[in-house]
Chains A and B, each alone.
Chain A
Amino acid sequence: MTGYYLPPPSHWPVVGSLALLCLALGAVLAIHAHAAGGFLLGAGAATLVVMLTGWFGRVIAESESGLHDAQVDLSFRWGMGWFIFSEAMFFAAFFGALFYARVIAVPELASGEQRLLWPGYTGGWPTAGPGLKDAFTPMAAWGIPALNTLILLTSAVTVTWAHWALKRDRRGQVKLGLLLTIALGLTFIGLQAHEYLHAYTALGLTLGTGIYGATFFLLTGFHGLHVSIGCLMLMVILARVQAGHFTPEQHFGFEAVAWYWHFVDVIWLLLFVFVYWL
């Protein structure tokens, strides 16, 4: 069969929608401490894993049996590009909150007639706001965060090194490059977890630490989630390389994950500058 590959009917989308319904309902119930919440969350997550494995497994099998022509490949490229753009806009909402708080909301609270409401509040950044009294220490940029920056930048190099190797069909180097990238990613997550623990136990910096704590944990948290997903995707790619998938000419699965990894990297650089450093 020639032409654009059109998949036959598939049950995975409905399974996915069921999984997300369970997750959503489970989250609502768990938040309100309802007994069924945890169960539904677990069931939803398990169904989601089954769905993702089955669906992506199917796409990989189709790709390996040569059903994806150049036009399908281009569709994947456009699709991944648009998807990463949507992710960027998701982060933009939280960066928007950070900039709004720093440039407009906090200075406003420390000036004009607001002084009558919050006497003695001087603003500045980082701040937990005028109404919260718990002391906290902000996260310093030039410790673990700087090290993490170095780690993620290095991982961008190693993933590109693996990509070059794939294009020259040096499978050993591909595996080594991917392994290094995954190791660096996991190290990053480990350090980030350590940093969170440190923040909660030693610095008094929590989600509830005013606007600084809220933006800090939401931005770094969603970024950490993305690094974790990126690591998982890199592991799948490593397994596929191990299984002999990809050719020097056609390996969009690899490239998509590499794009995603670079995107996560760029987000981190913005985080380092605007959340930790400045």
Chain B
Amino acid sequence: MDAHTAHAAAEPHGPPAGLMRWLTTTNHKDIGTLYLWFAAAMFLLGGVAAMLIRAELYQPGLQITHPDAFNQLTSLHGLIMIFGVIMPAFTGLANWQVPLMIGAPDMAFPRMNNLSFWLLPPAAVLLIGSAFVPGGAVGTGWTLYPPLFIQGGIGYDMAIFAIHLMGLSSILGAINIATTIVNLRAPGMRLMDMPMFIWTWLVTAFLLIAAMPVLAGAVTMLLMDRHFGTHFFDAAGGGDPVMFQHIFWFFGHPEVYILILPAFGIVSTVIPTFARKPLFGYRSMVYATVSIALLSFLVWAHHMFTVGMPAAAQLFFMYATMLIAVPTGVKVFNWVATLWRGSISFETPMLFALAFVCLFTIGGFSGLVLAMAPVDVQLHDTYYVVAHFHYVLVTGALFAIYAAVYYWLPKWTGHMYDERLARWHFWLSVISVNVLFFPMHFLGLAGMPRRIPDYALQFAAYNQIASIGGFVFGAAQILLAIVVFKAIRGGAPAPARVWEGAQGLEWTLPSPPPYHSFTTPLRMTP
């Protein structure tokens, strides 16, 4: 693939100075940066909540919280990490990289792009503010189940509107990304020429547009039941609290693929670079991504095996869920086959990508265990589930975000990052994260329920190990902040093609790329 790059030397309009630049920007790079810093700030908050949870669980009994505060901590931790960290970080990466990787001048709707970002701070104000109102924040977990949710205070309404704003932000962002990918590719770049990161984001955008409105509908029904006398989730009026679970998880399961598909794209970008081989099985990767997305709409009830469901429905959802292991397995094998006989080097992005392949696969396998309805009856709402989704979200989604940040940081800042410190970050993280989450499998198998501040004595040892791992993992993330700040302030200048094995249009631009790139369309010659 040969790209003739051309970017206008003259800037048609430079950014305004100071704060106004960030408030009014229509530039995909600025907005990408805003998204990534927002995610970082939220990560700090969600991380503090996690540290408090692990501190409380360090030993049995109530040490630093009371049960209601603990419920609020776990709920806020989940909501912040999902809607405030992983999704905005992926959207930030898409903002920075999609136009660069497809040779577009910017996003399709630059002003709407800015609105998508600026809806997030108000949502954060509402969500975090809800912790400081009478009655406190939601204590239902991120799943917001009625009837408990119906009984909460004013903080619950703030959470509803926060979710509305975050959903609107996601929908507008996804419309923008999908339109950009479909309509703004460099002439000559066919769909099957697109980098995997672009493919996975196109499919993710579809999932967002399809799933987020369903969540908006679900929380609207909660609001109506709370204040306007409806009986959607009240059996006395012919409604059903289980109906909320169905609607919520119809959103919720596509949501978990929204949280992982861009990670697949990142890993499919990083591994070929450092294995110095093209991605193995590109077409099968594309088809696997699309299959996972379609299947994700047919498996939601595996989150609710224990609520009471006909055996036929349990069987259907069990087998449909297991079916997802097939395209996911295709991906894992393709990554391994890409490594096979590659000329591999182990820079930090590659380390995180390889850790992703190993540890995400552990999370995938525990997901298969949970997919079995009879086993799930035992494991539902235990720490086994907590272990499972933290393996796919922390060592999966988050590690992929780390890989992407290290991979593209020299491109964004124009400086190489401190590789030695970055490796410290990697090794401390990858060891501590396993100390943190692996014992939770045993806790769950032994029957420790999730979302409780206190537990029986026999769980103490593993909880203590997990907490120590958690504190080390939390502290290790300070290294990431140091590496990023150092790279922004200076460091060895990065060449245009930062990694010798890197392929793609973003590497044809200087590092950092000009404020406006690809203002005249390039032509791709296959």
Contact = CB atoms under 8 A, between A and B. Distances in A.
Q: Is B one of A's binding partners? A: yes
Interface in A190-218: 206-215, 217-218
Contact of B238 (A18, A24, A128): A128
Contacts of A85: 209-210
B9 to A, nearest CB: 15
A24 B112 CA distance: 20
B114 A89 contact: no
A78 B217 CA distance: 24
B236 A130 contact: yes
A139 interface: no
Nearest to A2: B520
A123 to B, nearest CB: 8
B212 A78 contact: no
A87 interface: yes
Given A4-B184, A6-B516, A93-B218, A100 B240 contact: yes
A7 interface: yes
Interface string A1-41: 10110111111111011101100110110011000000000
Contacts of A210: 231, 236-239
Contact of A93 (B15, B176, B247, B521): B247
B459 interface: no
B122 A82 contact: no
Contacts of A248: none
Interface in B199-226: 209-214, 216-218, 220-221, 224
A164 B19 CA distance: 48
A1 B519 CA distance: 11
Given A25-B126, A27-B161, A214-B237, A86 B213 contact: yes
Nearest to B134: A32
Given A32-B157, A71-B183, A79-B175, A17 B231 contact: no
A107 to B, nearest CB: 10
A102 B386 CA distance: 35
Contacts of A89: 209-214
Nearest to B12: A1
Interface string B110-137: 1110110011011001100000000000
B508 interface: no
A21 B20 CA distance: 19
A100 B236 CA distance: 16
A103 B183 CA distance: 42
Contact of B118 (A13, A24, A104, A131): A13
A82 B211 contact: no
Interface in B156-172: 157-158, 161-162, 164-165, 168, 171
Interface string B215-257: 0111011001001111110111111101100110010000000
A21 B184 contact: no
A97 interface: yes
B237 A129 contact: yes
Interface stretch (B23-31, B86-94, B331-339, B403-411): B23-31
A92 interface: yes
A55 to B, nearest CB: 7
A90 interface: yes
Nearest to A88: B213
Given A86-B175, A86-B213, A96-B247, A218 B115 contact: no
Contacts of B520: 3
Given A82-B179, A94-B217, A214-B237, A6 B157 contact: no
Interface stretch (B77-85, B101-109, B188-196, B342-350): B101-109
A74 interface: yes
A31 B222 CA distance: 13
Given A21-B122, A207-B229, A130 B238 contact: yes
Interface string A101-129: 10011101100000001100000000111
A218 B210 contact: no
Nearest to A121: B238
A93 B216 contact: yes
A75 interface: yes
A274 interface: no
Contacts of A11: 23-24
A87 to B, nearest CB: 7
A132 interface: yes
Nearest to B219: A93
Contacts of B20: 9
Interface residues of A, number: 69
A83 interface: yes
B175 A28 contact: no
Contacts of B161: 24-25, 27-28
B23 to A, nearest CB: 5
B256 to A, nearest CB: 17
B182 interface: yes
B178 interface: yes
B283 interface: no
A109 B235 contact: yes
Contacts of A215: 232
Interface string A54-96: 0100000000000000010011001100110111011111101
Interface string B254-275: 0000000000000000000000
Given A79-B108, A97-B232, A24 B183 contact: no
B230 A214 contact: yes
With most chain B CB atoms within 10 A of its CB, the pick from A13, A90, A217 is A13
B243 A105 contact: yes
Contact of A101 (B217, B229, B243): B243
A24 B214 CA distance: 19
A203 to B, nearest CB: 16
Contact of A90 (B15, B154, B213, B243): B213
Given A89-B209, A92-B214, A14 B23 contact: yes
A14 B26 CA distance: 11
Nearest to A31: B227
A130 B236 CA distance: 5
Contacts of A218: 220-221, 224, 230
Nearest to A74: B183
Given A86-B175, A210-B238, 16 more contacts: A3-B520, A6-B516, A10-B24, A20-B119, A21-B165, A32-B154, A75-B184, A79-B179, A93-B213, A93-B221, A94-B221, A100-B243, A128-B238, A129-B231, A209-B237, A212-B238
7 contacts: A1-B12, A21-B125, A79-B179, A117-B235, A210-B231, A213-B231, A214-B232
Interface of A: 1, 3-4, 6-14, 16-18, 20-21, 24-25, 27-28, 31-32, 55, 71, 74-75, 78-79, 82-83, 85-87, 89-94, 96-97, 100-101, 104-106, 108-109, 117-118, 127-132, 206-215, 217-218
Interface of B: 12-13, 15-16, 20-21, 23-26, 104-106, 108-112, 114-115, 118-119, 121-122, 125-126, 154, 157-158, 161-162, 164-165, 168, 171, 174-176, 178-179, 182-184, 209-214, 216-218, 220-221, 224, 227-232, 234-240, 242-243, 246-247, 250, 516, 519-521
